[in-house]
């Protein structure tokens, strides 16, 4: 099949490269000339394991190409995927659909034959209906259809998630769109990937409901972690104990500094706005959002307690800045409010992240960037693990302890256990590890 992908951001680039790898002919389109030139030269705009190799090999095999010319890019396409950004709109938290509608207008004018327009970007319920109207208004050829095919890939594991998905969700209102999408995903059905074929609005809502549910699991376990600290229980064990029940499931029950990233914060807010407009209260989701906001804000207090109450004049080493490991994405990262508050409290902050420095620097003025884990610890009153990069899982704690001035290891991701840290004379401050007694903060 011939496919076009509008938008070479996270979702667009990964999906385009993976579709090409299945054997489809894919043209990726983006307005940003510099970005397209770089990708053509093999330089990826994002850091994602395995992506560079996949893009290069599919370009070489002639199945994947890149252009800034939308008209030429969609010329042969049977289906055109829209994977442009839908950021939260400033002020009201609504998903900003400007880029989506701009792409559709351009597409409608450029199309010379009926195409299936598929939204891959996360878009609020009803966006597909509006796209269908725009196609008509702008005089797109008769017989175009609009489908919704939300993406569930996780940053850092995006290629695997695309190729071995838990499910594929397709929402369409006509047989032609359904058949084209089934054909596009046929290579995955050979791996038994389940498909949920449904209506367009249902597919659109499914994506938001999935993200809100996952966010809810995290906020839930984070509140349970606070309770564990107060009553002398261990959240790690509680999570294991409940997660082994299949109805609950073991994943997404890691207590920590609150969720960040490009999806959960933005999508939960957008869902609340949709609900407001529909006049339906979403009490659970709005609580999930406020639990998470409060949690991020409270992390600096934990560090303050670990260094004796006041941050003034203290030196804090921060390990990990990105919102999670294996990405350079800093969007809504818990490290940002944490570090801002540490600075406001009068602390000096040195930080290290294996790949996120470039993205982090403009967001975190007033801190120094260390070259590695051990330099981060030099002279520090406390070292704080904010993102659980693999390289922080087996730190040489002897060296860390030697380099530090104080003794506090604030482990916001529960990477370590108390005993292994104490061997080196450090004090471990985990999250929800209430059995520690005095060390729990």
Extract the tokens encoding 295.
């949690």
Secondary structure percentages of the chain, helix, strand, coil, to 5:
45, 15, 40
Sheet of 64-67: strands edge to edge? 64-67, 25-29, 2-6, 79-82, 116-119, 145-148, 168-171, 195-198
Residue 414 phi, psi (nearest 5): 50, 50
Indicate the residue among 154 and 305 with the shorter CB distance to ligand UDX. 154
From residue 110 to residue 149, the character string flagging contacts with ligand UDX as x (rule: CB under 6 A) and all else as - is ----------------------------------------
**Site track for ligand UDX across 152-171, x = CB under 6 A:** xxxx----------------
Rounded to the nearest whole angstrom, what is the least distance from the CB of residue 112 to ligand UDX in the complex?
A: 33
Stretch that binds ligand UDX, among 50-58, 210-218, 272-280, 372-380 (CB under 6 A): 210-218
Q: Which of 337, 265, 219 is nearest to 95 (CA)?
A: 265
Binding residues for ligand UDX restricted to 59-98, rule: CB under 6 A: none
**CB contact at 8 A, 254 and 73:** no
- Taking CB under 6 A as the binding criterion, the range among 74-82, 246-254, 298-306, 402-410 that sits at the site for ligand UDX is 246-254
CB of 405 to ligand UDX, least distance (A): 29
Structure tokens at 357: 């420095």
Q: Is 86 exposed, middle or buried (0-12, 13-18, 19+ CB in 10 A)?
A: buried
* CB 8 to ligand UDX: min, Å: 17
Kindly tell me the sign of the dihedral angle through the C-alpha atoms of 335, 336, 339, 341.
negative
Q: Please list, in sequence order, all residues whose beta carbon lies within 8 angstroms of the beta carbon of residue 127, skipping any fewer than 6 positions away.
A: 97, 100, 119, 148, 204
Tell me the C-alpha distance between 290 and 295, whole Å: 8
* Interface stretch with ligand UDX, choices 92-100, 129-137, 248-256, 403-411 (CB under 6 A): 248-256
Query: Which of 19, 66, 99, 259 touches ligand UDX by CB under 6 A?
Result: 259
Could you tell me which stretch among 77-85, 184-192, 196-204, 255-263 binds ligand UDX (CB under 6 A)? 255-263
Task: Tell me the per-residue interface mask from 215 to 244 with ligand UDX, x by CB under 6 A, - otherwise.
Answer: ---x--------------------------
Q: Which of 171, 261, 337, 345 binds ligand UDX (CB under 6 A)?
A: 261
Q: Which residue of 67, 87, 176, 252 would you call a contact of ligand UDX, by CB under 6 A?
A: 252
**Residue 253 in the binding site for ligand UDX (CB under 6 A):** yes
In the region spanning residues 272 to 331, those forming contacts with ligand UDX, defined by CB under 6 A, are: 323-324
* 16, 256, 354, 406: residue in contact with ligand UDX (rule CB under 6 A): 256
Tally of CA atoms within 13 A in the half-sphere of 13 that contains its CB? 26
Structure tokens at 364: 């975190």
CA-CA distance, 56 to 46, in Å (whole number)? Answer: 14
Q: How far apart are CA 200 and CA 211, in angstroms?
A: 18
Binding residues for ligand UDX, rule CB under 6 A, total 20
Judged by CB under 6 A, the stretch of 28-36, 189-197, 247-255, 306-314 that binds ligand UDX is 247-255
Q: Is 263 a catalytic residue?
A: yes
**CB crowding 97-135: b at 16 or more within 10 Å, else e:** bebbeebbbbbbebbeeebbbbbbbbbbbebbebbbebb
CA 9 remoteness from chain centre: 13
**Between 74 and 153, CB nearer to ligand UDX:** 153
10 Å Cβ neighbour count for 24?
20
**Which span sits near ligand UDX by CB under 6 A: 88-96, 128-136, 150-158, 358-366?**
150-158
Catalytic residue among 18, 28, 144, 263: 263
**Dist. CA 407–CA 241, nearest whole Å:** 32
Question: Least separation, in Å, of the C-beta of 403 and ligand UDX?
Answer: 27
Judge whether 225 and 257 are in contact, CB under 8 Å: no
Opening angle at CA 280, ends 276 and 284, nearest 5:
90
CB 39 within 8 A of CB 64: no
CB of 314 to ligand UDX, least distance (A): 25
Binding ligand UDX by CB under 6 A: which of 103, 235, 263, 349? 263
Nearest approach, Cβ of 249 to ligand UDX (angstroms)?
11
Q: At its nearest, how many Å lie between ligand UDX and the CB of residue 292? A: 9
Residue with smallest beta-carbon separation from ligand UDX: 263
What single-letter DSSP state applies at residue 362? G
Write out the residues near ligand UDX by the rule CB under 6 A: 151-155, 211, 214, 218, 252-254, 256, 259-264, 323-324
Q: Which positions are catalytic? A: 263
């Amino acid at each position: 099949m011939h496919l076009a992908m509008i938008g070479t951001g996270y979702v667009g680039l990964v999906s385009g490269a993976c579709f090409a790898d299945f054997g489809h002919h894919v043209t990726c389109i983006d307005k940003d000339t510099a970005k397209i030139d770089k990708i053509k030269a093999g330089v990826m705009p994002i850091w994602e394991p395995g992506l560079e190799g996949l893009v290069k090999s599919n370009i070489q095999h002639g199945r994947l190409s890149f252009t800034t010319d939308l008209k030429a890019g969609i010329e042969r396409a049977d289906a055109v995927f829209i994977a442009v950004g839908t950021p939260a709109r400033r002020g009201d938290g609504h998903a900003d659909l400007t880029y989506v509608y701009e792409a559709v207008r351009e597409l409608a004018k450029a199309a010379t034959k009926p195409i299936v327009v598929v939204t891959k970007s996360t878009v609020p319920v009803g966006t597909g209906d509006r796209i269908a109207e725009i196609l008509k208004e702008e005089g797109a050829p008769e017989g175009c259809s609009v489908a919704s095919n939300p993406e569930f890939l996780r940053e850092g594991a995006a290629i695997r998630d695309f190729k071995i998905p838990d499910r594929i969700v397709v929402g369409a209102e006509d047989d032609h769109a359904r058949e084209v999408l089934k054909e596009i995903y046929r290579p995955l059905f050979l791996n038994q990937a389940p498909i949920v074929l449904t209506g367009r609005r249902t597919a659109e809502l499914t994506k938001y409901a999935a993200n809100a549910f996952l966010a809810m699991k995290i906020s839930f376990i984070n509140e349970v972690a606070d309770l564990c600290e107060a009553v002398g229980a261990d959240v790690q064990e509680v999570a294991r104990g409940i997660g082994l029940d299949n109805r609950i499931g073991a994943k997404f029950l890691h207590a920590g500094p609150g969720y960040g990233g490009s999806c959960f914060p933005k999508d939960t807010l957008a869902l609340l706005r949709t609900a407001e407009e529909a006049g339906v209260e979403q009490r659970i989701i709005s609580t999930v959002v406020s639990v998470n906001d409060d949690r991020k804000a409270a992390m600096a207090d934990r560090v303050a307690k670990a260094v004796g109450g006041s941050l003034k004049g203290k030196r804090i080493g921060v390990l990990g800045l990105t919102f999670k490991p294996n990405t350079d994405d800093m969007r809504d990262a818990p490290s940002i409010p944490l570090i801002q508050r540490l600075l406001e409290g009068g602390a000096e902050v040195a930080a290290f992240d294996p790949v996120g420095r470039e993205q982090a620097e403009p967001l975190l003025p007033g801190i120094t960037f260390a070259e590695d884990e051990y330099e981060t610890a030099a002279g520090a009153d406390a070292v704080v693990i904010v993102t659980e990069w693999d390289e922080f899982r087996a730190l040489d704690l002897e060296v860390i302890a030697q380099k530090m001035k104080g003794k506090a290891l604030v482990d916001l991701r529960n990477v370590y256990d108390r005993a292994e840290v104490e061997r080196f004379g450090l004090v471990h401050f985990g999250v929800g590890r209430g059995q520690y007694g005095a060390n729990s903060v």
